[in-house]
Amino acid sequence: MSTGPPQKKQKVSDEDTPLTELPKDQNAPATDLPGVSLLVLPDVLLRIVIDYAGVSRSAVLSCVCKVLNSNVAIADKMRKTFRYTDCPTRSKVLVSRAKSNLVCLDLSNCVDWKDTDCKELANKLPSLQHLDLSGALKISSHGAKNLARNGGLLSFSCNITSRFSLCKDMRLTPAYVKVLPKFAPKLRQVELTAGSKIKPGNLDVLGELPNLEALSLFLEGFSVLSMKRILGSSRTLTHLRLKIGGWTKFNWWDIPNSPNVAPLTHLVVSDEPILIPDIPKWYFDLGALKSWLLVFPTLSAVTIYRSDRGGSQLTPLALSALGDEVLVLRDNGLKPTFKLIEGTLHINRQWNPLELGRDEK
């Protein structure tokens, strides 16, 4: 029995009371981003109620709730967007867990995903709107079809990348192109690199997309391709970006001659010098540009990339005079603006043509 004087019980303030440890989701994959897993959100809310019950100053609770809301927003965003990061096992786990919530799936430069992986997700991505398969070398048209089966895609990209830019890496085939209007009829933006597997007429089905607003094409095959059918059948296409490679002959004068044409407003052109000796090439010169401006009366902004190795020889002075000439010939009084850039258009950059000037900086 203690004989000493009774010790006075110290009062512990609310601020000194340690918080209980956040519950952990044992099944959640490791992540470098901060945030609270949505799977343990009820436990987190319960912890706040217990730890802050009776707190007189509401500012403390308000501050904690603000942090919690921020973390939940981060966690929710993580479950809607996935970008491949060279970890095949983790990537497949994350995509599988976020199936119903996934909005954006970026598998660019992914060499581990195959058609069989895509087949497992067929009809299981109801919210998917954006799909990028650039550089996904082992995903063919069958895999693309399975990923697009929900029918809600708004944007699709299958380009070369800085990592995979050889001819053998240009995987676009006629079957690949046909997948888009059949399984993704809501597409608004399409970005494609067409190699030697694409022949005349293979790209015409893109004109069947009823909502297509922005089209970006890098033509690097050996065939003479044309945009005539696409530009004559699309009723929604406003933004067009064309890069013609050094191995390709593109006929700039083969365009629709009827009044029923796409309502183009913005055109970005990069016409690389020919790499095959003794073979003539039709360049995007002043005559070709004038034809486009007259055929498409709504065309108001033209950006031209001019290579220092040759190709198009358009000059600012010639463009200025052409703008005045077209203004007189057009009935709508719309004078086009021109931008001439010395350099190369990098098609393998992620590009949104609705954000004007991103590649033109």
**Secondary structure, 3-state, the chain:** CCCCCCCCCCCCCHHHCCCCCCCCCCCCCCCCCCCCCHHHHHHHHHHHHHHCCCCCCHHHHHHHHHHHHHHHHHHHHHCCEEECCCCHHHHHHHHHHCCCCCCEEECCCCCCCCHHHHHHCCCCCCCCCEEECCCCCCCCHHHHHHHCCCCCCCEEEECCCCCCCCHHHCCCCHHHHHHHHHHCCCCCEEEEEECCCCCCCCCHHHHHCCCCCEEEEEECCCCCECCHHHHHHCCCCCEEEEEECCCCCECCCCCCCCCCCCCCCEEEEEECCCCCCCCCCCCCCHHHHHHHHHHCCCCCEEEEEECCCCCCCCCHHHHHHHHHHHHHHCCCCCCCEEEEEECCCCCCCCCCCCCCCCCCC
Q: Which residues are CB-contacts of 220 (< 8 A; sequence separation ≥ 6)?
A: 160, 167, 170, 193, 194, 195, 196, 245, 247, 248
What pLDDT score was predicted for residue 263? 94
Q: Give me the mean pLDDT over the 192-206 stretch.
A: 88
Q: Indicate whether 127 pLDDT > 80.
A: yes
Residue 271 tokens, joined: 């016409």
Q: Indicate whether 48 pLDDT > 80.
A: no
Return d(Cα 176, Cα 143) in angstroms, integer. 10
> Cα dihedral angle (348, 353, 357, 360), rounded to 10 degrees?
40
Top-confidence range, 48-52, 160-164, 205-209, 275-279: 205-209
Q: How many CB atoms lie within 10 A of CB 338?
A: 17
What pLDDT score was predicted for residue 216? 92
Percent of the chain topping pLDDT 90: 23
Comparing CA positions, the residue from 345, 130, 307 lying closest to residue 217 is 345
- Identify the band that residue 24 occupies on the pLDDT scale cut at 50, 70 and 90: very low
- Identify the band that residue 310 occupies on the pLDDT scale cut at 50, 70 and 90: low
pLDDT digits over 146-177, tens only?
999 888 999 999 888 767 666 666 678 899 99
pLDDT digits over 10-21, tens only?
444 444 433 344
What pLDDT score was predicted for residue 260? 85
Q: Which residues are CB-contacts of 318 (< 8 A; sequence separation ≥ 6)?
A: 286
> Cα dihedral angle (20, 21, 27, 30), rounded to 10 degrees?
150
What pLDDT score was predicted for residue 300? 92
Between residues 326 and 146, the one the model is more confident about: 146
Q: Indicate whether 125 pLDDT > 80.
A: yes
pLDDT digits over 232-262, tens only?
999 999 999 998 887 777 888 888 887 789 9
Q: Distances in Å between the alpha carbon of 87 and those of 103, 109, 147, 171, 355?
A: 20, 12, 20, 23, 31
pLDDT digits over 329-342, tens only?
888 888 889 988 87
Return d(Cα 295, Cα 76) in angstroms, integer. 47
Top-confidence range, 282-296, 298-312, 346-360: 282-296
Residue 68 phi/psi, 5-degree rounding, is -60, -45
Return d(Cα 270, Cα 246) in angstroms, integer. 11
Residue 248 tokens, joined: 């390709």
Q: What's the whole-number average pLDDT of the chain?
A: 75
Query: Using CB atoms within 10 A of its CB, is residue 281 exposed (0-12), middle (13-18) or buried (19+)?
Result: middle
Does the model's pTM come out above 0.75? no
Q: Give me the mean pLDDT over the 265-281 stretch.
A: 76
What pLDDT score was predicted for residue 312? 60
What pLDDT score was predicted for residue 208? 92
Q: Indicate whether 270 pLDDT > 80.
A: yes
Percent of the chain topping pLDDT 70: 65
